[in-house]
Each structure stands twice: as structure tokens, then as C-alpha cells.
Structure 1
Amino acid sequence: MVADKEEEYFDVVDENNVVTGKQRRSEVHRLGLLHRAVYCFVFNPAGELLIQRRSLKKRIGAGKWDLSCAEHLQPGESYREGAQRGLQEELDIRKTISAGPLSPTHLREHKEGFCFVDREFVESYRVDNYVGSFRCDPEEVEEAKFISLIELKQAVEQHPEEYTPWFLDEIRLLDWFGAVEAVDDQQ
């Protein structure tokens, strides 16, 4: 792992997600260059989702609740490899990815202020039936907890500002709350 994350390199890609070169993280985000990222959702046997609160040291989304793991890909790394690496680095989870990609590779864009533009092609993966422990990397994660999708839906409706925009976008794309609403309607 690079000591200064702003100095690590990413693959830069074109509109077709084809690698065109490499650039430092700081430049990729300053210039809004297309690059790759991966999301991973970890579920326990009860169907609860592991969510993490981002470190207060983070420049973007500090202290906000986020999906189990979000990771930029290293040069030459596959999405699946990036998901597995991210789980190990952020949460010390070594269980193999169960499923994915969960949806087609898609472009996600997020702008924060004048100096940060995140334009990335994303794939999502999941880990099912996780029963092990996890240990949060304090540089990345303040805390983590399992939460039911019903509780998460209620929390997001009451306080959406407490969640990262990419987390909210992804759970809507995957329509997990639609499944929760179907269960609510049957009760």
C-alpha cells in the first residue's frame, strides 16, 4: 500500500472503460479523469448488511455511513481482485466473494467542491453468510456494524445526509429497498 494515498496510481480509462494510461490519484480526481472502482456488500446469515462509517480523516464523506467496502482499483487489477483486496485492507475480511458483478458495469460521477471530481466505472460484488469477525483500519473506517435492510431503509429515509451519495445511489440501483417494500406490503 502506498504511504500517501494521493500519490498512488490508477488506471485511467476512456468512455468504453478501456485503459488509456496511468495517473496519480490526486490528478485523477482534480481533473475528473475516468477510472475504476469496486463496491462490496457483506451480508451475515440473518441477511443483515455490514455498513461502515468512514474515517473522520477522509477528505470526502468523512464520518458518513457507507457500504461494506468501496475501493479504487490498482493498475491492472480486476474488479473482483479489487473487491477482495479492499475487504482485507479495510475490514480484515478474507472470505471469498460470493456473487458479482451484481449489475452491469456502470459510470458513477460525484463532485465535491471545486477540486474533487470522481468519475468512475463501478462494479458491485457481495459476500454472503459472513460469520467471522472484522477489524476496522482506522485510516479508512471509524466503525462498522450489521443492519437489517428494513432498519437501513428507515434510517436512510430519516437521515439521508448521514450516508455517502454513492452508497445511496448503489442501493437504489440494486433495488434492495424495493424488496423491503414488497415484504412490508405482505405484512
Structure 2
Amino acid sequence: MHTAEHTIEFDTIESRHAAPADDLVVLLDEEGREIGTAAKSSVHGADTSLHLAFSCYVFNDRGEVLVTRRALTKKTWPGVWTNSFCGHPAPAETLTDAVHRRADFELGLDIDRIDLALPLFRYRATDSSGIVENEVCPVYLARASADPVPNPDEVMEFTWTQPETLRRSVLASPFAFSPWMVLQMRELETFRA
């Protein structure tokens, strides 16, 4: 019986981390209007086209925020601490649906509530390998009542921390965090879900 329970648990974890069916991203013009789609693998390079993405910060019932460390296999900013999760909506997918999908895929989490905190956030950053991120990236605050079950291809570590502790750490040591998170911390006035 003990083995069967573990098998069921393992099967649940595996199904939660199934690869996304669609890896297309939505391309945008300088005014933020959709102008087409492209394969995700083709838009993250030295000359990255502007595209739509999102960031999300997940809070638990104790008011703590989930911070994750990107897997070492990630193409951009591997091993860097960042917000709870990020992603790209598929063509014709709402941002809210994309947030739910990525919460499940990256962290095995069901999100209870989602609030839009920074609707117009945009950034451009270049990592040490020369890969450029160039995104219109609305920022969401969400709530979850369970601990994550991270997908090891996405997340190598996580921790829950107090929002103000995180804010002070990010602003004091920006080199230790993803560039988008540093910029978001400067813009997020109310940082709690």
C-alpha cells in the first residue's frame, strides 16, 4: 500500500509537469499591439523581438511571497533567484489562463486568486551569454494555499519569505536577482496579495 501511494503521487507530479503543447509567443509592435507569432526558441537571442510575457508573485496564507531559483538548464539567467514564476501566453490565450497554466507547469500550484499589479511593465535586459529579453510583461500577484512541487527543469530551489525582507534584499543586492525582478520591486508600491 505504501508503494501504491507513492506511485499515485509520482504520477500526479509527472502529469503536472507535462511539457506545454504550444511554444509560440505573441510578437508586439512598439505600441504593444499584436503583430504575429514566433517560436519561443527563435525570439530569445541576441536580437530578441518585442513579445508578450508575464511575471507572477505567489503569496501564501501567512502573507509570505514565494521566491524561486531558476534551474541551471534555463536558457536565460540560469541559477538566478527571481519572482515565483514567469511565462508567455500562447496565441489566443488570456494572460489569466496563462498564469494558471504556468503556475501548474512550473510549480505544481493551483492559484486561488490573481490580481494585476503592473499592467504596463516593460523591460529589456541582456544576460551574460548575450541573450536578450525584450518583453511587455504585466505583473500579477496571486495566492496559493499549498506549497509548490517544482518542475526541476524550471526551478531548482524555492523559499517563502516576508515581502519587505525580499524587497530590501533585492534593492540592496540587485546582482543576486533577475533583472526584471529588480525593476519590478522598484515599481511595486503595494507588495502583498
What band does the TM-score fall into relative to the shorter chain?
A: 0.7 to 0.9
User: Secondary structure of 1:99's match?
Assistant: strand
| 8 Å contact kept, 2:68–2:84 | yes
The one of 138, 149, 154 aligned to 2:152:
138
The one of 28, 33, 49 aligned to 1:18:
33
The number of equivalent residue pairs is 173
Runs (4+) off by over 3 Å: none
Task: Tell me the residue number matched to 2:121.
Answer: 106
The one of 25, 40, 46 aligned to 2:56:
40
- Alpha-carbon shift at residue 176 of structure 1 (Å): 4.8
Amino acid at match of 1:173: E
Given the alignment of the two structures, is residue 175 of structure 1 paired with residue 189 of structure 2, yes or no? yes
The percent of aligned pairs where both chains have the same amino acid is 27
Deviations 1:48-96 (A, max 9, x none): 1101011011122111111011112212222111111110100011123
Deviations 1:109-140 (A, max 9, x none): 11235752211111111113x32121000000
| 8 Å contact kept, 1:84–1:97 | no
The one of 133, 140, 159 aligned to 1:125:
140
Structure 2: any 5+ residue segments left out of the alignment?
Answer: 1-18
Q: TM-score, normalised by structure 2?
A: 0.80
Alignment of 1:38-187 (within 5 A): 38-100=54-116, 102-112=117-127, 115-128=130-143, 130-176=144-190
Instruction: Indicate the larger mover: 156-165 or 143-152.
Output: 156-165
Structure 1: any 5+ residue segments left out of the alignment?
Answer: 180-187
User: Secondary structure of 2:93's match?
Assistant: coil
User: Secondary structure of 1:98's match?
Assistant: strand
Mapped partners of 1:95, 1:26: distance in 2: 27
> In the superposition, relative to structure 1, how do residues 62 and 113 fare at CA in structure 2: closer, same or farther (>3 Å)?
closer
Mapped partners of 1:36, 1:109: distance in 2: 12
Task: Tell me the residue number matched to 1:182.
Answer: none
Alignment RMSD (CA, Å):
2.3
Amino acid at match of 1:20: I
Mapped partners of 1:99, 1:109: distance in 2: 24
Amino acid at match of 2:54: V
Q: TM-score, normalised by structure 1?
A: 0.82
User: Secondary structure of 2:185's match?
Assistant: helix
Mapped partners of 1:161, 1:84: distance in 2: 29
- Alpha-carbon shift at residue 159 of structure 1 (Å): 3.3
- Alpha-carbon shift at residue 157 of structure 1 (Å): 4.6
Mapped partners of 1:110, 1:16: distance in 2: 19
- Alpha-carbon shift at residue 45 of structure 1 (Å): 2.2
Amino acid at match of 1:155: S
- Alpha-carbon shift at residue 97 of structure 1 (Å): 3.0
